[in-house]
A and B are shown apart, each in its own frame.
Chain A
Amino acid sequence: MKPRHDIVSHVRRHRLRVDLTQQELADRVGVTRQTILSIEKGKYSPTVGLALRLARELDVAVEGLFELEGETDD
């Protein structure tokens, strides 16, 4: 069994909703702007801790920031 875990990120949409730049969000959650950029592009899946901090700053549930896409195939 080979599970696929493609994470779809909605961080960019929520960041723009609260009118924050990548740098401002990065400063608030204690990471670099490049990290926010990589999360928004779906190239990096953050740890639970960072996901929770992002959710808090963007005033949204973690499930609203990230979505598990794909399926489990045999």
Chain B
Amino acid sequence: MTSRKSIVAWLRSPVNLVASTLVIGGFLLTSIDEIWALLMGAGIFGPGILREFGWLQDKDEFQLRAARRAGYHAYLVGGLMIFTLVALYRHEEPFIEEPSSLVLSIFVVVWFTWLLSSLLSYWGALKMAKRLLFAFGTVWLLFNIAAGEGNWVTSAMQSLLAVPFFAAALLAQRFPRLVGLLLIAVSIFLFFLFGWQEIFAVKPFKGGLEAIVLFLGPLVVSGVALLAGRRDPATEIEA
């Protein structure tokens, strides 16, 4: 119930609507010209920049603290990643097929770190893990329905792939350690199932990390959060 309320509140925020429109619109327009990626950048970073200037005041102090703390975490992770890549590239002859792909990988890692860190600070481990799993399951569900291309039997069968994620979200409260372990095991299985270890075998790295981060990231982070996070029933107190 609270999740539904949160989603409705999120959708009713004019800032979120404008930002989402810019991101989706920018993404669609990149099929015409890649310059429209600038629109996506405005949607992703615009609200935060306006908040830092004090021109937009739609977040309370706890939300801002979570976002700023996450920004520091993203700076640390992004900085470490960049220095590692620079060291690797200078160590041996670099081979970059598409430089923008590498930059995109760095951005996705930084953004993902920021997002998860801010959610963790704001919601705590258990609530974050549950909501991530629900979101992940929903994305899988929608993706599989679309992949059915109008064939409802195929869509229904493929949609079953989303069920384990919803089940994990529901069971996370009661069995956090078990669900956490299962999520990490599933992540490792999927990593090798899709052959993602291959991207690290390319000399020394040429991008593609974003697929792994966006696909396995929520599962790994949810798993670690459930394993490491303290069970805290007070998180669910409503009144």
Contact = CB atoms under 8 A, between A and B. Distances in A.
Contact of B62 (A21, A22, A23, A35): A35
B235 interface: yes
A11 to B, nearest CB: 12
Interface of B: 60-63, 65, 122-124, 232, 234-235, 237-239
Nearest to B122: A34
A22 B61 contact: no
Nearest to B61: A47
Contacts of A40: 234, 237
Contacts of B235: 37, 41
Interface residues of A, number: 18
Contacts of B122: 34
Contact of A46 (B61, B123, B232, B234): B61
A43 interface: yes
Interface of A: 21-23, 30-32, 34-35, 37-41, 43-44, 46-47, 50
B237 A37 contact: yes
B62 A31 contact: yes
Given A41-B234, A43-B124, A35 B63 contact: yes
B239 A34 contact: no
Given A41-B234, A43-B124, A31 B239 contact: no
Nearest to A35: B62
A30 B60 contact: yes
Contact of B123 (A34, A39, A47, A50): A34
A22 B237 contact: yes
A44 B65 CA distance: 10
Given A34-B122, A34-B123, A43-B124, A50 B61 contact: yes
Nearest to A23: B239
Contacts of A46: 61-62
